[in-house]
Structure 1
Amino acid sequence: MSTDHDDVRDLLAAWACGALTPADERTVPAHLAECESCAAEAERLRETVRLLDGAPRPPLGNSAAGNPDGVLALALRARPAAPRVAAHAAPYAAAVAGLQALLGELDGPGPWGTPVVHDWDVHATVAHLIAADEPLARRLGLAARVPESRIAEGAGWEEAWTERTADVIAYEQGRTPEETVAAWTAQAGALLATPEARDPERAAHATTLMGVRLPIADHFVVRAFEAWIHTDDIGRALGFAVPPPLDPHLWQLVRLAVRILGLALGPTAPPILFTVTGAEPGTQWVLGSEDEPVQTELVLDPVDFCLLVGGRYAPDEVPRGAVGDDAAISDVLERAASLAWL
């Protein structure tokens, strides 16, 4: 490997995660000893990885295997108690740590081939997360970790996204699960080390990713949403109960989902008083028209609402409390489910 400054900077996230090749393990430290800017960036990345790793975890023995409380404790211990990122990026840091806790306990090659969701096994699901995080990573100036795809010029974002996801999964399935996890962890660490993860002012700038224009801060919340959803997918596939996000993080997901749902319904839909249960202030919203009296109410649990928006509940199956116009209630539930891009 060349000791060129730019080449080494591309390897700093891998260095922070302990994922360098033997050759790079010799050259990167030598460059860090001579380059003050790279050394400072490397230390920031290493600190992020420490936060993601959380407290030391005991091995998953027979008493914890298949025990929801055992996995719950592991995931909670892996969450950073006080992440040194801004509030908008904290849910993503915690979600990454939770998935790391779960993946770190997989024993041998067998679990990696377990079917999870869509046509993905555990290995492919982690590969998918590399592709899912990539648009935000690229927008924030990070290099892709998988060879570029040949996307047809003029392709819409959905077509380009589908092609890129398939390419990333195919590439990663040619590598070991450990290499895929290292690549995903390094990319997550690099995202959390960006100035936008630490500075709310920088994160307030809006950008369009995956067909949705949101502030960068909200795109970090979307990344948290997806990381948690797929952690839950993997946990269910392997018979482990995965805890929901910490309450402050869960409500960040809820509030963003409600805002997007309100935009999807538009101002002419029949008005509905939408309540998400829990102690968080501001858990009621009027969705739809502001010019008509509210005669319909819908009540959902916050986790169930997130699973509905994440595509893990069918609209007619999600547990709910409802009174009023059945057609309007069905429309809200169907619109919520249609938001799933995970």
Structure 2
Amino acid sequence: MVDLTALLADLAAESAQLDALVVALPPDAWRRPTPAPGWTIAHQIAHLAWTDHVARLAATDPAAFYGSVIAAPDPARLVDDGAAEFLAPSARLLARWRSGRTALAEALAAVPPGEKLPWYGTRMSATSMATARIMETWAHGEDVAEALGVTRTPTARLRHVAHLGFRTLGHGFAAHGRAAPTAPVRVTLTAPDGSTWAFGPADAADQVAGPALDFCLLVTQRRHRADLALVATGPTADEWLDVAQAFAGPPGAGRKPGAGRRAGARA
């Protein structure tokens, strides 16, 4: 069983780490471009605030959540429109993100065990929603850090991102219009502290191995596989590294080989 309380604590810690990057920025720095085309630092925080808002709706008022989906003028622009809707002067935006993520944590903590929340194209438990929020906060935090020229130290919270990346193997194939694989894949990762994280059957013929940070950068489409120290063994594992996607929705543009810290995907 996954401990929701522990997940929410890690979500709060991940949010606090990103908060610390932006809290002292002057207003003009919030307009600095990030690796996601067309998005500034303000857009990144506005996106997180908007997603926290709709996630709270999903947890507290499913009818209102579905209503927001139906009312979207262009589903293909849902992410961009959501970020634009929540844009505001930096002090107001920061306050809105803080209050929104607190409200979301309270809402998720109150979800009855076993209840599934509506989401875009799926339904998920409160623990899955909290894990997804950790993944998004970390990934967009990477975009902000890159815009600021900051290299963040990986933490044990990456395990949540890595686990979600493993669990969404089939989604990555489906998002790219490919049949879901039938062969299992074993993922063996070196954690930030040097220990090993492993997912999937140990005797699987298809294997992915490498640093946990690199795997997380891949499944959030923050790096191209050619720029990462990940090794794929077997055809399913090899194809997966081309389509891996831990976030919901259509596939992002990803990054081109060698793009390093200057191109990205919106998730």
Normalised by the size of structure 1, how large is the TM-score?
Answer: 0.59
Secondary structure at 1:86's aligned position in 2?
Answer: helix
2:96 and 2:61 map into 1 onto residues whose CA distance is 13
Equivalent residue in structure 2 for 1:186, among 93, 96, 99: 99
CA shift at 1:299, angstroms? 0.3
Which residue matches 1:256?
A: 164
Secondary structure at 1:89's aligned position in 2?
Answer: helix
**1:241-272 deviation per Cα after TM superposition (whole angstroms, max 9, x unaligned):** 2233x31x222222232122256568753444
Contact between 1:149 and 1:167, CA under 8 Å: does it hold in 2?
no
2:213 and 2:5 map into 1 onto residues whose CA distance is 23
Equivalent residue in structure 2 for 1:118, among 20, 37, 58: 37
Which residue matches 1:31?
A: none
Alpha-carbon RMSD: 3.2
How many residue pairs match? The answer is 235
**1:136-167 deviation per Cα after TM superposition (whole angstroms, max 9, x unaligned):** 11122279xxxx979558x8xxx53x544434
Return 126-135 or 218-227, whichever deviates more.
126-135
1:188 and 1:142 map into 2 onto residues whose CA distance is 16
- Code of the aligned partner of 2:83: I
CA shift at 1:334, angstroms? 2.1
Normalised by the size of structure 2, how large is the TM-score?
Answer: 0.74
- Code of the aligned partner of 2:84: A
Secondary structure at 1:88's aligned position in 2?
Answer: helix
1:203 and 1:210 map into 2 onto residues whose CA distance is 21
2:246 and 2:165 map into 1 onto residues whose CA distance is 12
- Code of the aligned partner of 1:285: G
Larger Rg: 1 or 2? 1
- 1:232 and 2:150 aligned: no
Q: From the superposition, tell whether residues 268 and 231 of structure 1 become closer, same or farther in structure 2 (CA, over 3 Å).
A: closer
**1:28-55 deviation per Cα after TM superposition (whole angstroms, max 9, x unaligned):** xxxxxxxxxxxxxxxxxxxxxxxxxxxx
Q: What is the 5 A alignment of 1:207-222?
A: 207-222=117-132
Q: What is the 5 A alignment of 1:135-284?
A: 135-141=54-60, 152=71, 159-160=74-75, 162-173=76-87, 175-194=88-107, 196-197=108-109, 202-244=112-154, 246-247=155-156, 249-261=157-169, 268-278=181-191, 283-284=198-199
Consecutive unaligned residues of structure 2, counting only runs of 5 or more, are 174-178, 250-266
Which residue matches 1:103?
A: 22
- Code of the aligned partner of 1:170: A
Of the two structures, which has the highest relative contact order with CA contacts closer than 8 Å and spacing of 6 or more? 2
Which residue matches 2:258?
A: none
- Code of the aligned partner of 1:90: A
1:141 and 1:311 map into 2 onto residues whose CA distance is 30
Consecutive unaligned residues of structure 1, counting only runs of 5 or more, are 1-84, 288-292
- Code of the aligned partner of 1:250: L
Contact between 2:145 and 2:152, CA under 8 Å: does it hold in 1?
yes
**1:285-334 deviation per Cα after TM superposition (whole angstroms, max 9, x unaligned):** 239xxxxx8444320321211111111122343321344x3x33321212
CA shift at 1:105, angstroms? 2.3
2:160 and 2:114 map into 1 onto residues whose CA distance is 15
Q: Percent identity?
A: 24
- Code of the aligned partner of 2:105: L
